[in-house]
């Protein structure tokens, strides 16, 4: 089993070419949030914008537009219950996050079905409520050509049927190979693991200060921005996962709890540090 360490950051994070423009850095659609869980959409979006995504659109409930526009004016907003707008956004964007804060209502099932009908080669990052609904409704994950799954251990238990003590690397590998062999799976926990193409990779950073609501939502935004700017590969996703915990570890040296909003605020300076450290 390979470890994911700091060297991945300078390997993946690139200095920007002088004549580049926002269109070079990914079009990200984040389908997230609900009346109850607006913060999840905000935290995912903030992380995507701060991690350098070129253009970010959030599909959410209109009640959250003002909060989003005030907190993250860089992002655009659409109503996910307007299926025409959502369909257009799915077609237009190349990386799509679905799940944070959606809740497990029929509405979330409808959103997943719209995605299934309209998606082609876009990279899907499926998290949180979308994973729970997929487990409950037995939705076939193989309908997505490029999919990254980011369950925590509770969500992975629902998806895989494996109880937490049984979530060994061997069992997880077997399960993902039968559920969605072409996916990239991140099982989030202390020392998160990536399962990809029949191999396991383990993160060697992170801390218990990260055990706070919104930390996973923030990760989805970072992964989306990285895939949008760099490429869809194991290395890129590993770098996104590492950056998240790397910044959290720096904050944890001084702060008892690692606030997701604080973590997000430190993404641009940390990325610049690794981009500039390249020879």
Ligand X SMILES: Nc1ncnc2c1ncn2[C@@H]1O[C@H](COP(=O)(O)OP(=O)(O)O)[C@@H](O)[C@H]1O
Residues within the interface to ligand X (CB under 6 A): 128, 152, 188-190, 192, 206-208, 210-211, 213-217, 219
Q: Is 192 annotated as a binding residue?
A: yes
The reply, when asked if residue 189 is annotated as ligand binding, is yes
226-245 footprint of ligand NAX as x/- string (CB under 6 A): --------------------
State the binding partner of 101 from ligand X, Mg ion, ligand NAX, none, CB within 5 to 8 A by kind.
ligand NAX
40 is an annotated ligand-binding site residue: yes
Residue 213 or 268 with smaller CB distance to ligand X? 213
26 annotated binding-site participant: no
Q: Is 217 annotated as a binding residue?
A: yes
Using the minimum distance from each CB to ligand NAX, give the nearer residue, 14 or 109.
109
Nearer to ligand NAX, 4 or 41 (CB): 41
Query: Smallest distance, Å, CB 212 to Mg ion?
Result: 11
Three-state SS string across the chain, please?
CEEECCHHHHHHCCCCCCCCCHHHHCEEEEECCCCCCHHHHHHHHHHHHHCCCCEEEEEECHHHHHHHHHHCCCCEEEECCCHHHHHHHHHHCCEEEECCCCCCCHHHHHHHHHHHHHCCCCEEEECHHHHHHHHHHCCCHHHCCEEEECCEHHHHHHHHCCCHHHCCHHHHHHHHHHHCCCCEEEEECCCCEEEECCEEEEECCCCHHHCCCCHHHHHHHHHHHHHHHCCCCHHHHHHHHHHHHHHHHHHHCCCCCCCHHHHHHCHHHHHHHHHHCCC
Instruction: Yes or no: say if 175 and 151 are a contact pair by the CB < 8 Å rule.
Output: no
Nearer to ligand X, 55 or 147 (CB): 147
Residue 188 marked as a ligand binder: yes
Q: Is the CB of 175 or the CB of 188 nearer to Mg ion?
A: 188
Instruction: Assess 193 for contact with ligand NAX (CB under 6 A).
Output: no
- Asked if 213 is part of the footprint of ligand NAX (rule: CB under 6 A), the reply reads yes
Q: Give which of Mg ion, ligand X, ligand NAX, none residue 39 binds (C-beta under 5 to 8 Å, depending on kind).
A: ligand NAX
If you search the block for the tokens 């590993």, which residue do you land on?
A: 238
Which of 13, 30, 40, 48: binder of ligand NAX (CB under 6 A)? 40
In degrees, rounded to 5, the angle at the alpha carbon of residue 109 between the alpha carbons of residues 141 and 167 is 45
Interface residues with Mg ion (CB under 5 A) are: 128, 216
Question: Is 216 annotated in some ligand binding site?
Answer: yes
Residues placed in the known binding site for AMP: 188-192, 216
Q: Annotated binding site for (6S)-NADPHX, which residues?
A: 40, 101, 152, 217
Q: Which residues are annotated as a binding site?
A: 40, 101, 152, 188-192, 216-217
């Amino acid at each position: 089993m390979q470890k994911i360490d700091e060297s991945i950051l300078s390997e993946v994070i690139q200095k920007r070419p002088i004549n580049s423009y926002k269109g070079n850095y990914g079009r990200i659609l984040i389908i997230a949030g609900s009346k109850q869980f607006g913060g999840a959409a905000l935290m995912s979006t903030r992380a995507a914008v701060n991690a350098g995504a070129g253009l970010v659109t959030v599909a959410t409930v209109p009640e959250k537009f003002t909060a989003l526009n005030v907190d993250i004016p860089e992002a655009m907003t659409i109503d996910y219950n307007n299926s025409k707008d959502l369909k257009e956004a799915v077609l237009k964007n190349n990386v799509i996050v679905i799940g944070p804060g959606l809740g497990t209502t029929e509405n979330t099932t409808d959103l997943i079905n719209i995605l299934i009908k309209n998606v082609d080669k876009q990279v899907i990052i499926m998290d949180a409520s979308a994973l729970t609904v997929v487990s409950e409704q037995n939705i076939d994950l193989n309908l997505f050509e490029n999919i990254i799954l980011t369950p925590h251990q509770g969500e992975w238990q629902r998806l895989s049927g494996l109880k937490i003590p049984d979530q060994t690397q061997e069992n997880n590998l077997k399960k993902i190979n039968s559920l969605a062999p072409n996916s990239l799976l991140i099982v989030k926990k202390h020392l998160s693991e990536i399962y990809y193409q029949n191999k396991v990779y383990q993160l060697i950073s992170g801390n218990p200060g990260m055990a706070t609501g919104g930390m996973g939502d923030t990760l989805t935004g970072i992964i989306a921005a990285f895939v949008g700017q760099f490429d869809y590969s194991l290395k890129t996703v590993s770098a996104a996962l590492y950056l998240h915990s790397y910044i959290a570890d720096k904050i944890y040296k001084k702060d008892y709890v690692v606030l997701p909003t604080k973590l997000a605020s430190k993404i641009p300076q940390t990325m610049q540090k690794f981009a500039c450290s390249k020879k």
